[in-house]
Structure 1
Amino acid sequence: MSQPAQPTPTPPASPLPDAVHRLVEVPGGRIHLVEQGTGPLVLMVHGFPESWYSWRHQLPALAAAGYRAVAIDVRGYGRSSKPREIPAYRMLAHVADNVGVLSALGEETAVIVGHDWGSPIAANTALLRPDLFTAVALLSVPYSPRGALRPTEAFTMLGGAEEFYINYFQEPGRAEAEIEPDVRGWLAGFYAGLSGDAKKSPSEADPRSDATSPSGQGALPLFSVPRGGKLSERFPVDPAPSPWLTDADLDFYADEFERTGLTGGLNRYRNVDRDWEDLAAWQGAPLTQPALFIGGELDAPTNWMADAIKAFPVTLPGLSASHILEGCGHWVQQERPEEVNRLLLDWLRVLPAPVGAP
């Protein structure tokens, strides 16, 4: 078994002074992670455009409850490796990173938790390595097995007369040119537009609702781009301050992306068809480990993937519970930290011990 990685110095002005920052070696390079506590390992995987920091409320809560809580910077983010090649961000590479983190920390098994893009990364990690990842919690994005339709074709249909945001993100450099002139402003608009503070009704969070689509084809306004336009054209105008996202929080994210750029995170979107090809052998495969799902009532992915939630009895047979948080938007664990912490801990406490555990 690999020896635990040696801690690196905590960066200046760390928002979690009790946490330990590490750089661990994995086959694809290095992963930066932040950990607190001792006990069974809970590995947390963030989404776009975030960082380990999106789990800042969960790290101390899990540590206090007797868990070794670890939040990573996904490859392409923070101090983790940032390969130049787009295929280096395929799903199989993210799965390998998570396996490498487990080994570098000297652990044999872990519970994995993911939000946004971190949710399918966590789900596929558990799907491909059930021997290592014994339970999985998914936030915002429900589990949906690999289907028959190529993803970019499906997203083209979803966008209708406009361009669905995932298709908009496909061309290297295009979204970067929109974001980089004002990283902080773009992030503020993106975070605000997807939060519960935007006060969207459930129907407005569903891109299949033609009544809310400027294209008349059902695309959620914030998730569709006018032909030749920019995603930021759909951001809220002068959004009110969010109680869950302080100026200091926004500064942290903006500082990270001013330093690293957004290409690493965007490259995840540029691999959706490659993932579909790589995972052909797992088409329709259920995820059988004990599972938990937490979504927001006003969270767009939770709403437009309602059919995936309905399919949980087949696709997620080990599901313990599915929770939809009233009035909550997309940034589930940040908008409702106390509620998410309670649901996670209640679920973790009743998980069966891994096979071979003392």
Structure 2
Amino acid sequence: MATPAGRTHLVEQGSGPLVLLVHGFPESWYSWRQQLPALAAAGYRAVAIDVRGYGRSSRPGRVGAYRMVELVEDNAAVVRALGEETAVIVGHDWGSGIAANSALLRPDVFTAVGLLSVPYSPRGGIRPTEAFSRIGGEEEFYVSYFQEPGRAEAEIEPDVRGWLAGFYAGLSADTMPPAGEGSLFFVPRGGRLSDRFPSTGRLPAWLTEADLDFYAGEFERTGLTGALNRYRNVDRDWADLAAWDSAPIPQPSLFIGGALDSSTAWLADAIAAHPTTLPGVMGSHLLDGCGHWIQQERAEEVNRLLLDWLRGVRGP
């Protein structure tokens, strides 16, 4: 369907109140394959999009076309194009940030927000690239690594399937490297992110060979630049969102994270601040023994938490 990006591809199931599902990196609408039927069966119109730059959605050439304010307008345009006025929005990973900012910037459209794996952290006073440069000491923080155009593409694109398998495994509870072997989110100076991938070559339990084929096929067709351009806009976002510095999101909200996910460890202070930054928060859950790919690793539990929350948002 037509959006400011040009075209936004989506998959939908069911009828009823609209729930918009926004994936993260490096994923696609397919990340929500186990939520779509569960939401539809519960009486919701569940819609999972390919964010611009991914899958079958448009891939603008300009790096600046992937700034947060434009992704927010894509989401609002999807709601309008579906013939709806409002929606609940749920996001995972980068999709969590996109969902949070959609609720922040367009409260007229997005009446409730669910955040998976990455908590809401309002815009602050430090330019993001400055903050990232201070993280990691002798090693390079992965966001900084991803910011240089072409650099990560040169690592990933010669073997998309192998790289994705390693990245997914490195952040999954049952295949992540033991503590002490170095974090996947830090790159040795002069090295590559994949240097920290697990050495076993084993896929996590949630990821079948067919699932990996789907993800790999999408990125083999599109390349990784559109997806990585999200990381290359963090300073633009910081400038664009100056008027919302420290702003809370008052709509009804939900957070679900994995207890073994590095994101929840780094951002523990952000989770603790949710009663202030998300004054409408109705639940905050850390799933024991769960990694980063939360709605795929623990689909049934996430579905239950989402549906319980949605019933509370809608009322009895």
TM-score tier (shorter): over 0.9
Q: Is 1:284 the counterpart of 2:246 in the alignment?
A: yes
Kept after mapping to 1: 8 A contact 2:255/2:283: yes
Shift of 1:240: 2.6
Within 5 Å, which residues of 2 pair with 1:158-307? 158-198=135-175, 204=179, 212=180, 221-307=183-269
Within 5 Å, which residues of 2 pair with 1:34-73? 34-73=11-50
Change (3 A) 1:141 1:90: same
Unaligned stretches of 5+ in structure 1? 1-23, 205-211, 215-220, 354-358
In the TM superposition, what whole-angstrom CA distance separates every residue of 1:68-90 from its partner, at most 9, and x where no partner exists?
00000000001100001000000
Kept after mapping to 2: 8 A contact 1:45/1:119: yes
TM-score computed with the length of structure 1 as normaliser:
0.86
Change (3 A) 1:290 1:65: same
Aligned to 2:290: 328
Aligned to 2:308: 346
2-side partners of 1:263 and 1:200: how far apart?
27
Which secondary structure state, in structure 2, belongs to the residue aligned with residue 295 of structure 1?
A: strand
Unaligned stretches of 5+ in structure 2? none
User: Which amino acid letter does the alignment assign opposite residue 67 of structure 2?
Assistant: R
1-side partners of 2:271 and 2:241: how far apart?
21
Aligned to 2:65: 88
User: Which amino acid letter does the alignment assign opposite residue 297 of structure 2?
Assistant: E
In the TM superposition, what whole-angstrom CA distance separates every residue of 1:143-190 from its partner, at most 9, and x where no partner exists?
000001111111111121111000001110000000011000000000
Percent of aligned positions with the same letter in both sequences? 74
Which secondary structure state, in structure 1, belongs to the residue aligned with residue 248 of structure 2?
A: coil
Q: CA RMSD in A?
A: 1.2
**Aligned pairs, how many?**
315
Which secondary structure state, in structure 2, belongs to the residue aligned with residue 303 of structure 1?
A: helix
Kept after mapping to 1: 8 A contact 2:175/2:203: no
User: Which amino acid letter does the alignment assign opposite residue 211 of structure 2?
Assistant: D
2-side partners of 1:323 and 1:239: how far apart?
31
Aligned to 1:98: 75
Q: Is 1:145 the counterpart of 2:145 in the alignment?
A: no
2-side partners of 1:88 and 1:82: how far apart?
9
2-side partners of 1:31 and 1:303: how far apart?
33
1-side partners of 2:122 and 2:314: how far apart?
24
1:124 to 93, 101, 110: 101
1-side partners of 2:176 and 2:73: how far apart?
38
2-side partners of 1:262 and 1:179: how far apart?
8
Kept after mapping to 2: 8 A contact 1:200/1:298: no
User: Which amino acid letter does the alignment assign opposite residue 251 of structure 1?
Assistant: D
Kept after mapping to 1: 8 A contact 2:50/2:56: yes
Which secondary structure state, in structure 2, belongs to the residue aligned with residue 338 of structure 1?
A: helix
Which secondary structure state, in structure 1, belongs to the residue aligned with residue 2 of structure 2?
A: strand
Which secondary structure state, in structure 2, belongs to the residue aligned with residue 31 of structure 1?
A: coil
Aligned to 2:132: 155
Which secondary structure state, in structure 1, belongs to the residue aligned with residue 9 of structure 2?
A: strand
2-side partners of 1:33 and 1:343: how far apart?
23
Shift of 1:239: 3.5
User: Which amino acid letter does the alignment assign opposite residue 105 of structure 1?
Assistant: L
Name the larger-Rg structure.
1
Shift of 1:28: 2.7
2:8 to 31, 35, 56: 31
Change (3 A) 1:352 1:67: closer
Shift of 1:226: 1.2
User: Which amino acid letter does the alignment assign opposite residue 312 of structure 1?
Assistant: H
TM-score computed with the length of structure 2 as normaliser:
0.98
For structure 1, which segment, 233-242 or 243-252, has the greater mean C-alpha deviation from structure 2 after superposition?
233-242
